[in-house]
Structure 1
């Protein structure tokens, strides 16, 4: 196994040479074999161990076992302890999910603090099979059937091609000691039920089942890569990025016979889970939206708009004083005295400086705001009606700012100036306010 492992890690992960590697070691069979294998290769390694305090004295026995091993073999050792049950209760998580959250959070903290490059874990082929079956029983797409990735960001799993049987044989041949986790014998957890009850039946039906499964995984991964390539090409035809927002053209999208698959592929990474609601948006009413924890998908006429959810308070106000010539937050504005007018866009207005009162106030628009649009003498209009006429989306409305003088609107910024502050034939001082 050692030569196969050496060839695999050199061919698949050549970039690990001369890198600093953390090994996640529980003390069990798999991680102790990985540690033994890497110890024989010319890599700079250190060991990470998490004590989740879930098995009483047994957990502390694991910690002491690995600590002594590292000391005897002159391997740097890092460990921490978690109150996993309390964390799971506080955040309403299962014990297994809580342990995973705690483990990887600590791993990434140490990567940065200790200036290491990657973390290696001991997941193997049987783990991959179990994960596949778990995902299959819960319902999943192609991504869930491709199993555990060999690399996920800074996490690398060099034992994935090797079976539990190969790992056990290597351990016995090399007299490797390990700790047995008593919880692995219990069928309390779904993974253990699959490991103890289902997988042996599959291997009985086909003694080469694990090899056949790995071939299937390879085919699925190739299909996933093809899907991703197609998704990128279609995205370029359907989507348009505008700053932090992404606009999906529904007319183009609905021409695709399987547009739901593309939507899933594009939006999955943004944390959405209500997929039927998202698919209904395509033919739903304008203004409807679906939320994830950090993002919003809005139907706006013939467009779906994906945008981050803004947590900025709507009642915040910013003052602009008379001596200010530039404003850098929350918008970039430039104020200056000019001698004449050169109107070429909605990005600038020209006002009679003697009609305004400082400090000017920059704020978000409010429902009920009224102003007199430039060119409409004596006629008032609700800002909300202006938005409707301009066909602004909900997201665009939320991003709109209002510039006020003494509680009167001077400018719906970037859209329309107020009539009351325009320059006249008698104007002596012209103030230009420009949105950069």
Structure 2
């Protein structure tokens, strides 16, 4: 197996050589065997062990075993003790999910603080089969059938080409000792049930079942790559880049068949899961939206607008009379002018004596109104934005320059008529907005 492992590293993970690696080691046969293989391959590894304190003295024994293993292999060792039960009480979720979150958060901390390059884990072909079956049982698209990836950012899994049988045979041949986790024989968790009861039955169907499964997964990966290449090209044509978001024409989406599959492929990577709601946006009212943890999709007339979630800015910024340059939240230059020059959307001239200092910079809010320059009477900002065809996301970021409760300038769009320069004006204030 060592020769196969060396060849596998050379072919698929040559970038690991010369890098500082963390090896997640539980003390079980998979991670212990991986530690021996890495040392014999002259990879620079440091063992990291998580004590989740879920099995009393057995957990303590695992920790001591890994510490002794590091000493035996003459390599570095790190351990962290977690109050897993308290974490679950606070954050919810299953034991497995809590352990995963705690484990990888700690690994990220070490990488950032100490300059390690990658984390390697001992997931193998049987683990990938179990993941496939779990996702199959829950209902999934093609991505859920791809099993465990060999690389996911900083996490590398160099044993996926090997079966659990391969690993145990090598460990026994090399007289490698390991710890057995007593919870692995219990079938109360879905993964353990699949591992202990379902996978063995499947392997009885054909003597090379696992090898055939690996071939099937290889075909699925190739099919997925073809689909992804096609979708990337399609997305490039559909997603129009705007300022801080994407604009997707609904008419173009509605021409795609089957629509449900295309919507999934186009928006799945942004975390959306409520596909009926996403589809409903196509016929929904403007302003209606769907949210994922990281993004939102909003209907705006003939388009869907895709953006990252942002905290709504309710801050108010004060502009004293002495201000000459404003750098945040917008870039403004304020200066006195003796005569009127050519004005525009980004340059306005105000009657300074009409202003009530300090001025205020804020975002627009529902109910705002102003008196648009060149028009008689007031107008709600929402109606102004609609007439100007300002999309939902852009108007959310719109900044206003205010004098008291009055809107003086919808910055970059329209001056308020009440603050325009007149024949009686004695002091003119010129304000320039730099986009």
* Normalised-by-shorter TM-score class: over 0.9
In the alignment, the residues of structure 1 paired with residue 372 and residue 274 of structure 2 have an alpha-carbon distance, to the nearest angstrom, of: 41
Question: What whole-Å deviation, never above 9, does each CA across 1:394-419 have from its counterpart, x for those lacking one?
Answer: 32332122211232211112221111
| Other-structure match for 2:160 | 160
Shift of 1:428: 4.2
In the alignment, the residues of structure 2 paired with residue 274 and residue 404 of structure 1 have an alpha-carbon distance, to the nearest angstrom, of: 40
Alignment partner of 1:271 is 2:271: yes
| Other-structure match for 2:354 | 355
Higher mean displacement: 262-271 or 132-141: 262-271
SS at match of 1:330: coil
Question: What whole-Å deviation, never above 9, does each CA across 1:210-252 have from its counterpart, x for those lacking one?
Answer: 1110111001001111111111111111111223211111122
In the alignment, the residues of structure 2 paired with residue 414 and residue 232 of structure 1 have an alpha-carbon distance, to the nearest angstrom, of: 35
Shift of 1:118: 0.5
Alignment partner of 1:317 is 2:316: yes
Shift of 1:204: 0.8
| Other-structure match for 2:407 | 409
- What's the Cα RMSD here? 1.5
Give the TM-score of the pair, scaled to structure 2.
0.96
| Other-structure match for 2:235 | 235
| Other-structure match for 1:213 | 213
In the alignment, the residues of structure 2 paired with residue 333 and residue 269 of structure 1 have an alpha-carbon distance, to the nearest angstrom, of: 38
Alignment partner of 1:427 is 2:419: no
Higher mean displacement: 93-102 or 229-238: 229-238
In the alignment, the residues of structure 1 paired with residue 335 and residue 265 of structure 2 have an alpha-carbon distance, to the nearest angstrom, of: 49
SS at match of 1:341: coil
| Other-structure match for 1:171 | 171
SS at match of 2:312: coil
SS at match of 1:388: helix
Give the alignment of 1:14-413 within 5 angstroms: 14-314=14-314, 316-338=315-337, 339-344=339-344, 346-377=345-376, 379-413=377-411
In the alignment, the residues of structure 2 paired with residue 128 and residue 173 of structure 1 have an alpha-carbon distance, to the nearest angstrom, of: 25
Shift of 1:426: 4.1
Cα contact 2:240–2:246 (8 A) shared by 1: yes
- 4+ residue runs over 4 A deviation: none
Task: For structure 1, list consecutive stretches of 5 or more residues without a partner in the other structure.
Answer: none
SS at match of 1:305: strand
Cα contact 2:325–2:334 (8 A) shared by 1: yes
In the alignment, the residues of structure 2 paired with residue 97 and residue 366 of structure 1 have an alpha-carbon distance, to the nearest angstrom, of: 41
In the alignment, the residues of structure 2 paired with residue 84 and residue 361 of structure 1 have an alpha-carbon distance, to the nearest angstrom, of: 49
SS at match of 2:354: coil
Give the TM-score of the pair, scaled to structure 1.
0.96
In the alignment, the residues of structure 1 paired with residue 255 and residue 341 of structure 2 have an alpha-carbon distance, to the nearest angstrom, of: 47
SS at match of 2:297: strand
In the alignment, the residues of structure 2 paired with residue 359 and residue 331 of structure 1 have an alpha-carbon distance, to the nearest angstrom, of: 17
Question: What whole-Å deviation, never above 9, does each CA across 1:294-335 have from its counterpart, x for those lacking one?
Answer: 322111111111123332353x32111122111112222221
